[in-house]
Amino acid sequence: SRTAPGRSGRGGPGWAHPRHGAEGGGGRRAPFLLRALRIAVVVCLYWFTSIAMVFLNKYLLDSPSLRLDAPLFVTFFQCALTAALCLGLSLGAACGPPCAGLPTLRLDPKVSRSVLPLSAVFIGMVTSNNLCLKHVGVAFYNVGRSLTTVFNVLLSYLLLKQTTSLYALLACGVIIGGFWLGVDQEGAEGTLSWTGIFFGILASLCVSLNAIYTKKVLPVVDGSIWRLTFYNNVNACVLFFPLMMLLGEFRTLYHFDKLGSPSFWGMMTLGGVFGFAIGYVTGLQIKFTSPLTHNVSGTAKACAQTVLAVIYFEETKSFLWWTSNLMVLGGSFAYTWVKGLEMRKVQEDPNVKSGERNETGV
């Protein structure tokens, strides 16, 4: 199961030694403090990277001072930078640490074609995420694309024939209620963007599809997330060109007055680096905690991000608006907790494993 790697990541030799050794309290305390400090650093790094990436993308996509109406170009640049960083770090693998463990990357057209269906979903995911962020405020962004969990349940049933427990469905109901209450409150405050809502729902769908297609495509790249990231972003760069031409973004860039500005390209590069880094720090957080803890951390991060956005943009929100956010966050946390308990039950009870495996969902 997906919980096992997270546990084994924490349970290496350094973790097991204090339990089995004959050392005193000092010997036991040091490894525990070291693990706690390491987990705290990783979680803080994940929070900082994720929140900074959202605020940077909001600036690039919808800043009044920048006035750049080219969301596909922003997304294309981030994909190109991610592919370049993957290739650069792979080339550095021959130089030893810290890149020694990375696989060598080379572009195989046959593999690229096999990854293409996932790349199309990937483009839909990153583009709709950015378009949702462009049209809604950062404070509402979490609610606007909060239906990912609901689509996980729906697609798991339709495509994978996996059923979901009643408690998990109730948690999904709370998320849907929070989403609709949030939409209603955004409308009441005069800040509702139906375009943003549409792309938020589309982003939620694409995130779920991306998870399913990733599982199907991973064998093509020998199970390497690193290689899959490289092929995904290379394919995306190629596919973005006709889309940018169709939507006239090259003409927009030609007339953009800050195209030669070092500060603009600095912000673009910084956004791309954070976009690349989020995948790495997400993996670190799962490795040093667990998938369940990662989901809980992500829910708490979304709460902090919403509060920071309201403070930074000096917004005033109603009680019901905050209630909608709490419903989405509470429903997401409840779903994560229920699925964690179900996964643990499947792991610990051999008699349940064969009969209830499909009830754990995605």
Instruction: Kindly report, residue by residue over 319-354, the tens digit of the pLDDT.
Output: 999 999 999 999 999 998 898 888 888 777 655 544
Q: Is residue 148 predicted with pLDDT exceeding 70?
A: yes
pLDDT of 25 higher than 70 = no
The predicted pLDDT at position 93 comes to 61
The pLDDT score that the predictor gives to residue 295 is: 80
Check the CA dihedral 283-284-287-290 and report its sign: negative
pLDDT mean across residues, the chain: 83
Average pLDDT over residues 47-56: 94
Confidence class of residue 224 from pLDDT cuts 50, 70 and 90? confident
What is the rounded CA–CA span in Å between residue 320 and residue 182? 8
SS3 273: helix
- Determine the pLDDT at residue 21: 40
Is residue 357 scored above 50 in pLDDT? no
- Return the pLDDT at 1: 36
Q: Which of 130-139, 178-187, 213-222, 338-347 has the lowest mean pLDDT?
A: 338-347
Give me the percent of the chain exceeding a pLDDT of 90: 52
Long-range contacts of 80-86 (CB under 8 A, 24+ apart): 80/233, 80/237, 80/272, 81/269, 81/272, 81/273, 81/275, 81/276, 82/229, 82/233, 82/272, 82/275, 82/276, 83/230, 83/233, 83/234, 83/237, 85/273, 85/276, 86/226, 86/229, 86/230, 86/233, 86/276
pLDDT band at 285 (very low <50, low <70, confident <90, very high): confident
